Amino acid sequence: MNVKELEAIEAALAFFDTVDDMVAEYSLGDYKGESTYHESVEDDANVVPVQSGLELRSKRKGPHQVSADTQDIAHAKAMLVVPGRNRSRDLQKLEILQLRKEAADLQQQIEDLRYTKGVVMENPLGPLASITISFHQSHDARLGGLRVLAKRQKRLRNEAESENQYLRDIVQSQMKNIKMLKRLFQNQISTETLPGLYRSLHPNFVPKGPISGYEVLEQLSCRLSDLFFDTDRVFQSNGLSVISSPFAKVNTQPVSYSSTQIELLKCDVLPFDYRAVAKTFVRKMASDYESEEEDKCVPPDLKKKMVARVFTLDIEELMKMQVRFTGVKYEEDKREVIVLSGQNELLEVFGVAVDGIKLQERTWCVLSEISPGVCLLQLCINVMVEAKPLLNDRREFVNRVCELVANFEQEMFASVQKDVEHELLHAGC
């Protein structure tokens, strides 16, 4: 072994010492507050004189340092079985400590070889062949150890990635559970708001009042008087004017390629005064959609005269629509008429966002007196579903949307009527 080879070994030892110091600092910093560690002490070995006059300095670890490393490794292994800790981080720390100990053993072997080389150089007549063979054996052993360490590091990295993926899956599952709980709470609030809808529909009212919605309400309010004057004509055309017994019917008819008309007709007899029924109906229409809304959501000039609302209606897993409607009650001799005008827009159907499907709604509800204390309810709801120019494969989709809208209108009015009857019964008791 010549001087250049010794210098190369010194450079390698300096590199191992630097890595060893960084690893020790990292390990001690992470385990601070968890356990007490023994400080490693390095003793400078004796300087071995060589034939060339160069001085070789070696740092040889004593038994107490080896014991400290062993204690650190034992402590790290003990931490692996503690529940609630990050296993991947503890495995990495354990691997670092084992690498440090193996590096120290390799350094000790190199120091022994260096010492042997110094003695041989003092005795040039010794067998040089045995020293060369020993050096090559040490080099092969060190190379094999590094390969084993590389494989072990790769295995630990794969295990850490697997554990991180498992933790990510747990987080995603928890997020889904949180969304489900949020939806259940919303459904509970909706059931308390409209108890009649809990049978098949679960609406969630999200107040929304953009400036454009106010303009639509003003336009709709201008049409209410025209709707009122058309009441008798509409009832004569659909035959409700001659019906005075319980009756219900839904008609769906395509008007054009992109428009479909839905007409809901209903007639019922209620054992209450018609004025009380009309007053309760109007109050229900105003209060049921009023939850969590502020007064500023409705134009002040409209609120004094009529019912006016702008909100987003979310029916779980079925559809989501923006609803804008106005309504007013007219009083006549022996009857009261409630007319509603609405302009709605579908936002989602079956969880899929849709665009270009609008609903024009007109409602006539006539409450007349058959005899004192007996009310005849006659209802006509006309909804025009307008969609953008459709492709052939979208016709069935629009038909399905029309069925959902018709079912929703039936359930909505049935729930309001049930609440009105329940309130009047309790008021009479």
The domain spans of the chain are 3-173, 199-428
pLDDT for residue 303: 43
For the ranges 23-27, 157-161, 162-166, 349-353, which has the lowest average pLDDT?
A: 23-27
Is residue 368 helix, strand or coil? strand
Burial (Cβ within 10 Å: 0-12, 13-18, ≥19) of residue 325 = buried
Question: Can you read off the two tokens belonging to residue 274?
Answer: 């018609």
CB atoms within 10 A of CB 301: 10
Span 95-109, pLDDT tens digits:
888 888 888 888 888
Span 76-92, pLDDT tens digits:
777 777 777 777 777 88
For the ranges 207-221, 313-327, 356-370, which has the lowest average pLDDT?
A: 207-221
Span 342-376, pLDDT tens digits:
888 888 877 777 777 888 888 899 999 888 888 99
Which DSSP string do the residues of 158-207 spell out, in sequence order?
HHHHHHHHHHHHHHHHHHHHHHHHHHHHHHHHHHHH-GGGTTT--EEEEE
Question: Can you read off the two tokens belonging to residue 203?
Answer: 């609406």
Span 32-43, pLDDT tens digits:
444 443 333 334
Instruction: Give the residue with greater pLDDT, 393 vs 65.
Output: 393
pTM above 0.85, yes or no: no
Tokens 């987003």: give the residue.
312
CB atoms within 10 A of CB 26: 13
d(CA 218, CA 209): 13
C-beta of residue 269 within 8 angstroms of C-beta of residue 370: yes
What CATH architecture is 199-428?
A: 2-Layer Sandwich (3.30)
Q: Is the pLDDT of residue 326 over 60?
A: yes
Instruction: Give the residue with greater pLDDT, 194 vs 269.
Output: 269
Q: How far from each other are the two terminal CA atoms of the chain, in whole angstroms? A: 113
pLDDT for residue 40: 38
d(CA 26, CA 31): 9
